[in-house]
Every structure is written in C-alpha cells, then in structure tokens.
Amino acid sequence: MDSALFQNAETLLAGCYNLKELSWNISRWYSADAYPGFGDGSSAPRISLDLKFPLLQSLHSVIENVEDAALEVFHDMANRIDAPKLRSLIIEGSPYGTELRWMGLLLRRNPQLQELRISYFSLKESDYWEDFFTPLTELKTLIISRVSPPNEFLQSIFPSSRDSETVLRYLPNLDRFVIEWLHQG
C-alpha cells in the first residue's frame, strides 16, 4: 500500500465512529529503497489522525513482523485510538518475537480492559511484567500463548512458596488465567 492509499484508509477508519469490533493487521512496509520493485520509495506512513471509537468493545491486532516501520504503526495506533468501552484486546505479535514493551502504551491507555490475549511475544528477563498488568484492575481473563518465557517470568506468576509475591496480585478481578503453547527459550 502506498502512502496515499494509507492516508485514504486512515481517513475512512477515522470516520467509523460506530465500530464495535475492529481487526487491524499491521504488515510489512515495502520501500523501493529496501526492496527494489516494491513500494513507492517513500518511508512508511504514520497514523496522524485521532481514531475515536466510543462504541468499540473488541480490538484484534496482528503485527506481522518486527521491523521498525510496523512497530511504529502499532505504536501510533496505540497512541491514537480512543476507545473508552474497549473490553477485549487480542494482540498477536510476530512469530519472530515481537518485544512485549510495544504493548505497554496500549495497556496503560485502556485500564478498563476485561479480557487480554497475548501471543507470539518475546518475554525477556529485563521486561517488567507488573508494569504491564498494574493498570488492568478490571481484567478478568488473561491468556498468554506461543511465548518463550524466561524462568523469572514463570517464577513471578507461580511463586515457590506461599509467602512469595506474584505478578497476579496486580489483577484483583482475574478469574481466568491461561498459559498455552509455551516454547523453549
């Protein structure tokens, strides 16, 4: 998609105030410089309009690759979407390991979430998982799949003794927690 088409799509999307569900696939941006024969030679487009969705309840976002251009579009989306009724968020990272930190802004801006599904994210020992979960006091369902978690992450969820603190303490309303399809790190 060239820059002009992207801007047209952005304008169209910004006018869809009554959306209740949105699926957004963030795919690779081809520039003529990086990929001769593809793209229009310009840099990747950026989201410049506020996206106000007062009725949006469900957002499913897929990040197909870990290149800067795709991650910047995801960051723009997280910064521009205003969805006060958003309750369900599904984010699929790239199978190549999208870093968890890219999700932080979207979670902080949506503390009203009740369901969060995360897949194909790279969890590193340096990530501060509690920083991601802290604002989500209304969260009832958390599903983490297709990740390669470090031992530190698993120990923060499943402490070795009853006295140990757990990351889940930040989620007082959580009643469903699933970790599935773990990969070795």
Contact residues for 174 (Cβ-Cβ < 8 A; gap 6+): 139, 140, 141, 142, 168
Which of 3.40.50.620, 3.40.50.720, 3.90.550.10, 3.80.10.10 would CATH assign to domain 3-180? Answer: 3.80.10.10
Q: Render pLDDT for 52-77 as a digit per residue (tens, 0 to 9).
A: 999 999 999 988 776 777 778 888 88
In whole angstroms, give the CA distance from residue 145 to residue 149.
10
- Is residue 68 within 8 Å of 30, Cβ to Cβ? no
Q: Render pLDDT for 77-128 as a digit per residue (tens, 0 to 9).
A: 899 999 999 999 999 887 766 766 677 888 999 999 999 998 877 666 555 6
- Is residue 80 within 8 Å of 58, Cβ to Cβ? no
More confident residue, 117 or 164: 117
In whole angstroms, give the CA distance from residue 163 to residue 183.
29
Tokens of 145: 């799949």
- Is residue 130 within 8 Å of 166, Cβ to Cβ? no
Which helix H or strand E contains 1, and what residues bound it? none
Highest mean pLDDT among 2-6, 51-55, 163-167: 51-55
Q: Give the residue from 101, 76, 106, 75 showing the smallest Cα distance to 90.
A: 106
Torsion, Cα of 48, 49, 55, 57 (10° steps): -10
Torsion, Cα of 66, 72, 74, 77 (10° steps): 180
Q: Render pLDDT for 5-55 as a digit per residue (tens, 0 to 9).
A: 778 888 999 999 999 999 988 876 555 555 544 444 456 678 889 999 999
pLDDT at 185: 54
pLDDT at 38: 47
